[in-house]
Amino acid sequence: MREQGEGAITAVCSVLKIPMFTPAEIVFLAEYAKTMSPFAKAVDVLQGEASVQMGWLVPTITLLKTKLQNLRRSSKLCVPLVDALQAGLERRFGQMFADPELIAATILVPKFRTCWTSDDYILKLGLDFIKSHLKEQPMVHPRDTSHSSEDDDFFSPIKQGNVQENSKQLDSYLACPDDTMDVLKSFPAVCNLSLKLNTPLPASAACERLFSIAGLIFRTKRARLGSKNFENQLLLRLNKRFW
């Protein structure tokens, strides 16, 4: 079947007088596709809208750099391409690997925690950031709804002074084998900090898609749409799978 397909392509190219790829060009294209494959997959991950948070950025780039380094060792034709990709990643994201907030955001994603890198210095930056911010949070017990908001305000100095409970929650979270986001519900203080750090998305693709859909609705002939009507139509368009 493969030989028949190649024969048909050769016949078509001969009739249309289209030059075919040489064997060397085919080898280069195969290696090019292999080199760009992890880069394309990393872009797809970071441009997602579901099941992705800011904490996915650093481990995704870390793994991508590792994959590119492995490809460089086995590459014969695309070494300059790999070098260019690595240089671009370092120029764009290099400083982010020293950002304690981004590292903390990664640690507070159960899928990654501390297993995405073996660099103890990087992990220490993130853990120190988490511990310092947990100290600033009031002590939160799971499902603690026994007091009114007025009582919580009155006793808040006592709760804020007791930071051992929040520290224990962090240790328990890091030791928990469950890697789903639901596990954060068992550690309220850790969950609150994770929500704070991981609410943003690592890429602007979702916002760009929103503006693209908005442009399809707010066209020239519909320029008199009211803001409320426009907002409702946009929400319906983006959530059509629910109705």
For residue range 140-189, list pLDDT tens digits in order: 555 544 444 555 555 555 555 456 788 889 999 999 999 898 999 999 99
Residues 6 or more apart whose CB falls under 8 angstroms from that of 205 comprise 46, 47, 49
What pLDDT does residue 62 have? 94
State the pLDDT confidence band at 66, using cuts at 50, 70 and 90.
Answer: very high
Cβ atoms of 117 and 59 closer than 8 Å: yes
C-alpha angle 167-171-177 in degrees, rounded to nearest 5: 150
Torsion sign (Cα): 182, 185, 187, 188: positive
Residues 6+ apart with CB under 8 A from 4: none
Q: What is d(CA 208, CA 211) in angstroms, rounded to the nearest whole number?
A: 5
Note the pLDDT tens digit of each residue in 4-15: 556 666 676 677
Dist. CA 203–CA 53, nearest whole Å: 9
Query: What pLDDT does residue 212 have?
Result: 85
Q: Please measure the distance between the N-terminal and C-terminal CA atoms of the chain and give it in whole angstroms.
A: 46
Q: What percent of the chain has pLDDT over 90?
A: 47
Q: Which of 129, 131, 126 is nearest to 116 (CA)?
A: 126
Residue 227: pLDDT band (50, 70, 90) is confident
Q: Mean pLDDT, to the nearest integer, of 30-42?
A: 94
pLDDT at position 206, please? Answer: 78
More confident residue, 64 or 149: 64
Please state the rounded mean pLDDT for residues 59-71: 95
Percent of the chain with pLDDT over 70: 82
Strand, helix or coil for residue 164: helix
Asked whether 210 and 203 are in contact (CB, 8 A), the reply is no
> Is pLDDT at 240 greater than 50 in this prediction?
yes
Within its chain, how far is the Cα of 182 from the centroid?
Answer: 18
Which residues, in sequence order, are CB contacts of 206 under 8 Å at separation 6+? 47, 49
Which pLDDT score, from 0 to 100, does residue 116 have? 92
- In this prediction the pTM is 0.74
CA-to-CA distance for 118 and 63, rounded, in angstroms? 12
* Tokens, residue 16: 């249309």
